[in-house]
């Protein structure tokens, strides 16, 4: 028996003890989910849709409670946390329309009829990181349940509270026992068991690229299906012809939101050299105005880092002599506060420029022309997100086609919507979540030929 004590990132005080499941307990729940699959897959599509809508509606009436829980557990700003709980509701509502529409095709063949079916996979293992506990869980369990699968979900050790509550709400909404199971535990125990247990037919993993690679190797043993959402080092590319005021005003939110603990953080700003000075002047004003404060305040734009470990990790990126251009403010007193930090590296060799920091640190680098911007943006092992700022639409089209990343925004930093696909190029991931196609990741296509020759 082991427990984990959740520590508030704001007060550094203990919040709650959580029991961590061992392998025996995990196996028992996987077996329960496998049994529940036999009946859940047969629930008629209209009823499955109704149950998912009831779940969405119950989440909706608990948005404030879930949001407050995330502020307590993770130190998210209350504004963000409300959006995150609302996102779970929206994802459930969106995929609740799927069960009656999960049809295959009828393909013309000689001497018979050929039909494809979308069959559920079985038990889906969802492994969630600590940075966005609610949305990332929902992006997995929403489509998985809609397609007729059952789910075992492991929240991150640091942030299990909202997942546990969502598990209770699911039962209350009428999701049958065993269909949606939340198992708090260690990655090396519960997460690893999802990978090795033959009854878990697919893993949905969001987290670091290192652990993702380990999971991918583990899944190879059983040719287990896998979706990976991994790290990022996204570029915010600003051309001199852009609305520099708007780009500078939006740049702090694009990287410091959630204290930079965001896989989509635009943590590399590439600015055309002729606009560099103007941008930096405006950016400094915007960073200094960025409100880092008690996340329960409605005005808060950024809270603390998640843990003392994360604080130490981020600090390591700023050794003596780091080229800090300027910093924002942070509260004094307890809490893992880290001031928004802007670096002006000499070139792209800097560790802070190349590696994912997962904290409120951004590097600004000048570029010469369009080709240079594309080359620098793509000079990264990652390819998750990014922004392109230009008033020249033809250029924006060219650059958005040339940047190797899965989720881009032009003259905006907003690239996550539950009804559009989300995922990474290169080492940022494998497969896509959300949008109309995510259901393909939770079904097998079965082809059946019926001979009509008699």
Closest CB to ligand NAD among residues 40, 205:
205
Closest CB to ligand NAD among residues 189, 240:
189
Closest CB to ligand NAD among residues 130, 283:
130
Answer for the pair 230, 427: CB distance below 8 angstroms, yes or no: yes
CB of 2 to ligand NAD, least distance (A): 14
Of the candidates 138, 142, 231, 304, which one interacts with ligand NAD according to CB under 6 A? 231
Interface with ligand NAD includes 337 (CB under 6 A)? Answer: no
DSSP symbol at 369: S
Residue 219 appears among annotated catalytic residues: no
Stretch that binds ligand NAD, among 77-85, 105-113, 185-193, 270-278 (CB under 6 A): 185-193
Closest CB to ligand NAD among residues 62, 268:
268
Q: What is the DSSP string of 48-91?
A: HHHHHHHHHHHHHTTHHHHHHHHHHHH---HHHHHHHHHHHHHH
Closest CB to ligand NAD among residues 161, 275:
161
Interface with ligand NAD includes 234 (CB under 6 A)? Answer: no
Binding mask 83-102 for ligand NAD (x = CB under 6 A): --------------------
Torsion of CA 250, 256, 258, 262, to 10 degrees: 90
Within 10 angstroms of residue 360's Cβ, the number of other Cβ atoms is 31
Adjacent-strand bridge partners of 4: 18
Residue 284 appears among annotated catalytic residues: no
Answer for the pair 237, 275: CB distance below 8 angstroms, yes or no: no
Closest CB to ligand NAD among residues 93, 234:
234
Of the candidates 143, 160, 191, 335, which one interacts with ligand NAD according to CB under 6 A? 191
Binding mask 395-424 for ligand NAD (x = CB under 6 A): -----------------------------x
One of 70, 219, 263, 356 is an active-site residue; which one? 263
Pairing of strands 341-343, 361-367: parallel
- Write the CB contacts of 293 (distance below 8 Å, at least 6 apart in sequence): 299, 300, 302, 303, 331
Rounded to whole angstroms, the Cα distance separating 323 from 305 reads 22
450: buried, middle or exposed (CB in 10 Å: 19+, 13-18, 0-12)? exposed
Interface with ligand NAD includes 384 (CB under 6 A)? Answer: yes
Rounded to whole angstroms, the Cα distance separating 38 from 112 reads 30
Answer for the pair 368, 387: CB distance below 8 angstroms, yes or no: no
Interface with ligand NAD includes 187 (CB under 6 A)? Answer: yes
Stretch that binds ligand NAD, among 67-75, 205-213, 247-255, 278-286 (CB under 6 A): 205-213
CB of 263 to ligand NAD, least distance (A): 3
Interface with ligand NAD includes 225 (CB under 6 A)? Answer: no
101-140 binders of ligand NAD (CB under 6 A): 127-132, 136
388: buried, middle or exposed (CB in 10 Å: 19+, 13-18, 0-12)? buried
- Write the CB contacts of 213 (distance below 8 Å, at least 6 apart in sequence): none
CB of 133 to ligand NAD, least distance (A): 10
Closest CB to ligand NAD among residues 156, 173:
156
Q: What is the CA radius of gyration of the chain?
A: 23
* CA distance readout (Å), 40 to 27, 60, 169, 325, 442: 20, 24, 18, 56, 14
Stretch that binds ligand NAD, among 26-34, 188-196, 324-332, 360-368 (CB under 6 A): 188-196
* CA distance readout (Å), 241 to 191, 226, 245, 271, 435: 48, 42, 11, 11, 33
Stretch that binds ligand NAD, among 141-149, 225-233, 286-294, 394-402 (CB under 6 A): 225-233
Active-site residue set: 229, 263
Binding site for ligand NAD (CB under 6 A): 127-132, 136, 154, 156-157, 187-188, 191-192, 206-208, 211, 214-215, 229-232, 263, 356, 358, 384, 424, 428-429
């Amino acid at each position: 028996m082991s427990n984990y004590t959740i520590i508030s990132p704001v007060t550094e005080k203990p919040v709650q003890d959580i029991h961590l499941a061992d392998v025996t307990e995990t196996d028992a729940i996987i077996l329960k989910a496998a049994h529940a699959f036999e009946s859940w897959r047969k629930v008629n599509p209209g009823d499955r849709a109704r149950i998912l809508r009831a779940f969405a509606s119950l989440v909706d009436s608990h948005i404030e409670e879930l949001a407050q829980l995330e502020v307590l557990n993770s130190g998210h700003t209350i504004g963000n946390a409300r959006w995150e709980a609302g996102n779970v509701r929206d994802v459930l509502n969106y995929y609740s329309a799927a069960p009656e529409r999960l049809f295959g095709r009828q393909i013309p063949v000689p001497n018979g009829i050929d039909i494809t079916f979308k069959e559920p996979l079985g038990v889906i293992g969802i492994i969630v990181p600590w940075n966005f506990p609610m949305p990332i869980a929902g992006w997995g369990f929403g489509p998985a349940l809609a397609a007729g699968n059952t789910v075992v979900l492991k929240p991150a050790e640091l942030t299990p509270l909202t997942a546990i509550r969502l598990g209770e709400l699911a039962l209350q909404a009428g999701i049958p026992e065993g269909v949606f199971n939340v198992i708090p535990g260690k990655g090396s125990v519960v997460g690893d068991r999802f990978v090795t247990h033959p009854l878990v037919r697919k893993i949905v993993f969001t987290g670091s690229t290192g652990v993702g690679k380990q999971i991918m190797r583990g899944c190879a043993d059983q040719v287990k299906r896998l979706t990976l959402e991994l790290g990022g080092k996204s570029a915010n590319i600003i051309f001199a012809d852009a609305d520099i005021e708007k780009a500078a005003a939006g740049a702090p939110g694009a990287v410091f939101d959630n204290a930079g603990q965001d896989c989509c953080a635009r943590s590399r700003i590439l600015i055309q050299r002729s606009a560099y000075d103007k941008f930096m002047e405006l950016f400094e004003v915007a960073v200094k105005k960025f409100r880092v404060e008690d996340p329960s305040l409605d005005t808060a734009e950024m809270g603390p880092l998640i843990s003392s470990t994360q604080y130490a990790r981020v600090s390591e990126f700023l050794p003596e002599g780091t080229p800090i251009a300027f910093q924002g403010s942070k509260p004094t007193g307890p809490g893992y506060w880290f001031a928004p930090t802007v670096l002006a590296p000499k070139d792209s060799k800097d560790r802070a420029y190349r590696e994912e920091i997962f904290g409120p640190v951004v590097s600004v680098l000048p570029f010469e022309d369009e080709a240079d911007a594309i080359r620098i943006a793509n000079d990264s092992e990652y390819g998750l997100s990014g922004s392109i700022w230009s008033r020249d639409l033809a250029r924006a089209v060219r650059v958005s086609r040339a940047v190797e990343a899965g989720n881009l925004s032009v003259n905006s930093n907003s690239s996550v919507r539950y009804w559009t696909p989300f995922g990474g190029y290169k080492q940022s991931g494998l497969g896509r979540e959300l949008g109309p196609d995510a259901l393909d990741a939770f079904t097998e296509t079965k082809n059946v030929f019926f001979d009509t020759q008699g």
